[in-house]
Structure 1
Amino acid sequence: MYLDEAYWTNRYKEKSTGWDIGYPSQPLKQYLDQIFQRQLKILIPGAGNAYEAAYAFESGFQQVHILDFSPVPLNQFKEIYPEFPLAQIIQENFFDHQGKYDLILEQTFFCALDPALRHAYVDKMYDLLVPGGKVAGVLFSREFEHQGPPFGGTKEAYLQYFEPKFEVLTLEPCYNSIAPRMGNELFFQLKKPI
């Protein structure tokens, strides 16, 4: 399966977006609510309709950047949130993106990537963060019977990817998942060493 820009654009055009819950993810919303440094430079890769970005921006985070492979959700986002800075809306392959961020938020991006790219994902996250920067978000805590996406995993498998590069601050069952995902998600926080 080739998960390229055309694949994701087609999913949006067909409205085949089962990952899209229609509002900010509660774990990420609560995480953002606990951050008082509103000047952080934030990236949300695979942002899709970017509800978390809109929430963060409206909560005073002015340096939120969204990135997606497909122009479809990004164009919709521009229409819905015309006050959001255009320069912070990026259509690009995550692995080609350049920049430095204090925080990267993960919401249904890791699980959308071919598992063969997981080491490359970890390396890219590491490269995009400033020293002491963090990745935080939600991962599936289950395997899927179908050929993904989404692609699942286990806590033990994730640790094998993350521990060589990052300090794992949190990787625990998510207590505030939406009802259909309750018991099937892990909240995680990784820190790039200083």
Structure 2
Amino acid sequence: MFSVSLRLRPQIHRLPINLNSKSSLNKPFISTMTTTNPKMEEKREQENHSKNSTILSSKVEKMQGILDEDSTGGWDKCWEQGLTPWDLGQPTPVLLQLLDKETLPKGRVLVPGCGAGHDVIAIANPERYVVGLELSENAIKRAREISSSSPNAKCFEFIETDFFTWRPTELFDLIFDYTFFCAIEPRMRASWGTQIHELLKPDGELITLMFPTDDRDGGPPYKVSVADYEEVLHPWGFKATSILDNELAVGRRKGCEKLGRWKRCLNHSQL
């Protein structure tokens, strides 16, 4: 690595170095090798974020293409091909926070469009029986695989059916909707509101994690607003008890989510 003149051949005295030694001789060398450049690290993170965003955008475009061709069976094809950009691969963080704070109703819980069932598994316990509803056969298979070793396996079930035509024998104390309202075509939102009304007990609670609230064209996911929910829920007597920005939103969803909690006025009657 070093250039040595042929004319001058100075005698070089080599010092023995013990590579295993913890002496101060080795410390500067180790420190130099492990020191990271903050600017380089920031640049690397930006490059990784850009790469992940490109991959995600590509998946969304492919997913939308499949659903344009087949709006019903397309969801199952997306699961079959692994085109599920909405799937976090884990329970929704803000839902875990609500569970930790013990602010969720007990009793029967419904999660429409449950996907791989991460939220279903997280909510379920001896005090809450959870039903995960899903139209996709492949999603149901995946959910059952993931949940097979759950200690609360008797506290939940997955049903493959259409949310809009399903008629259960019992109503629910809580309905949790995340990435379902935004997945259906906007023209179907009024029917969503009607079905929520039909499935929830009179004193039950609806929790909506509203996404995406930013301005975008097309879908799914179709852009949503608080007003969109109010439009289809107010006719059934639902009023928001709280609407907050979701500070625990993940990745590109940051700044594009609101957590809404809704209760029905018991003296409401639809004219």
Higher RCO, Cα 8 Å, sep 6+: 1
**Which amino acid is the alignment partner of residue 137 of structure 2?**
P
Q: Secondary structure at the match of 1:48?
A: coil
Q: 1:118 maps to what in 2? A: 189
Structure 2: state its 5+ residue gaps: 1-67, 267-271
2:220, 2:187 → 1: CA distance?
Answer: 13
Higher deviation after alignment, 115-124 or 136-145: 136-145
Q: 1:164 maps to what in 2? A: 235
Q: Secondary structure at the match of 1:95?
A: coil
**TM value normalised by structure 1:** 0.89
CA displacement at 1:78 relative to structure 2 = 1.5
Corresponding position: 1:54 with 2:121: yes
2:210, 2:104 → 1: CA distance?
Answer: 25
Please list the CA deviations of residues 99-156 of structure 1 after superposition, one character each: whole Å capped at 9, or x if unmatched.
31000011111111011001110110011000111110311212322x2110112223
**Which amino acid is the alignment partner of residue 248 of structure 2?**
N
Q: Secondary structure at the match of 1:24?
A: coil
Question: Which of residues 8, 25, 43 in structure 1 aligns to 2:92?
Answer: 25
After TM superposition, the structure 1 = structure 2 runs for residues 88-103 of structure 1, keeping only pairs within 5 Å, are: 88-99=157-168, 100-103=171-174
1:15, 1:35 → 2: CA distance?
Answer: 34
Q: Secondary structure at the match of 2:202?
A: strand
**TM value normalised by structure 2:** 0.65
**Which amino acid is the alignment partner of residue 152 of structure 1?**
K
Higher deviation after alignment, 10-19 or 79-88: 79-88
Q: Secondary structure at the match of 1:138?
A: strand
**Which amino acid is the alignment partner of residue 96 of structure 1?**
T
Q: 1:191 maps to what in 2? A: 263
Q: 1:68 maps to what in 2? A: 134
Corresponding position: 1:143 with 2:215: yes
Contact 2:113–2:180 (CA under 8 A) maintained in structure 1: yes
CA displacement at 1:79 relative to structure 2 = 2.1
Contact 1:24–1:51 (CA under 8 A) maintained in structure 2: yes
Please list the CA deviations of residues 161-186 of structure 1 after superposition, one character each: whole Å capped at 9, or x if unmatched.
22222021122322221132111111
Contact 2:121–2:156 (CA under 8 A) maintained in structure 1: no
Length, aligned pairs only:
191
- Indicate the percent of aligned positions where both proteins have the same amino acid: 25
Question: Which of residues 63, 66, 80 in structure 2 aligns to 1:13?
Answer: 80
CA displacement at 1:36 relative to structure 2 = 6.4
2:215, 2:232 → 1: CA distance?
Answer: 16
Cα–Cα, structure 1 residues 62 and 132, in superposed 2: closer, same or farther, change >3 Å?
closer
1:192, 1:72 → 2: CA distance?
Answer: 35
Contact 2:203–2:264 (CA under 8 A) maintained in structure 1: yes
Contact 2:76–2:137 (CA under 8 A) maintained in structure 1: yes
Structure 1: state its 5+ residue gaps: none
RMSD: 2.1
